[in-house]
Structure 1
């Protein structure tokens, strides 16, 4: 069906918003790229925080938006369009911090929302480590399911790149 059985930062983000989207992402479905919200996200990733020296660092199955040093502290940034995506961004960033920790790198995270001039600090501790592990466990269970979960309309559906897939033919 698909080559790798790897959980990605995108699947973590999707799982925290919509299990159906996460199922699609786990199987390497690609959202509609002409979606205006996806285009805006790409623009922000390319142009926001241009002075940060290391952009788009790749880890197994994941791509960190921005990483930099402040003194002896490694900081990992996740750039988002708005505060509406903070829940998923938080989970995604915790996942990146977990990957780095598993590689022996202690880091702290920041959700960065340039349009709102907002930064939210994220730290991996025993509670958040357990939280991200539960999401990983949920994704591993989702990987075992042969058909996607039924679509459930939520407010994010109107902005989702999979909306046409989920709601084609619906009135």
Structure 2
């Protein structure tokens, strides 16, 4: 890993990596300190579940499983949306932890949504994603994004679209 890749890997929180894939404006707002998550019921439920599971392990959404002589990292999420963002987020966990394989799974039925490895192709995709995040985070104001279905459930909806 080069210095630049290492710098980019630790520049953002793993949750920012997924959030940027979902909505660059929400990422920018959150990155620059605006947090409206308390108003969203889905976020409140997720935080309550996270707090309950946090008693069981350090990071309740990442589980480690020994298979075929190597460690498989299971990244457990509650919904199917934003698969590419979740893949990039898991790859950040893999690279930071020195692991090679991972799977994005759902909490309710344990279906595997996606498999992730630390291949050169996946690392290049993540690097491009992180570089785009650097550009976005350095903007003076949030990027313009089109209104869509995802906006209806977003805690930033009123900030972005009302007024």
Q: One fold, TM greater than 0.5?
A: yes
- Compute the displacement of 1:47 (Å): 5.6
Give the aligned partner of residue 158 of structure 1: 152
CA RMSD of the aligned region, Å?
2.6
Instruction: Choose which of 109, 112, 125 in structure 2 pairs with 1:119.
Output: 112
- Alignment match, 1:110: 103
Change (3 A) 1:55 1:66: farther
> 2:129 matched to 1:135?
yes
Q: Partner of 1:42: helix, strand, or coil?
A: helix
The equivalences for 1:8-157 within 5 A come to 8-46=13-51, 54-56=57-59, 65-71=61-67, 72-100=69-97, 105-120=98-113, 121-157=115-151
For normalisation by structure 2, the TM-score amounts to 0.78
Q: Which residue of 2 aligns with 1:167?
A: 161
SS in 1 for 2:34: coil
Q: Partners of 2:92 and 2:25 in 1: how far apart? A: 20
Distance in 2 between residues matched to 1:18 and 1:109, nearest whole Å? 24
The gaps in structure 1 that reach 5 residues or longer are 57-63
Task: Verify the 8 A CA contact 2:14 2:92 in the aligned structure 1.
Answer: yes
Structure with the higher helix share, 1 or 2:
2
Please report the TM-score for the alignment, with normalisation by the length of structure 1: 0.75
1:107–1:54 CA distance, 2 compared to 1 (3 A): farther
Aligned residue-pair number: 152
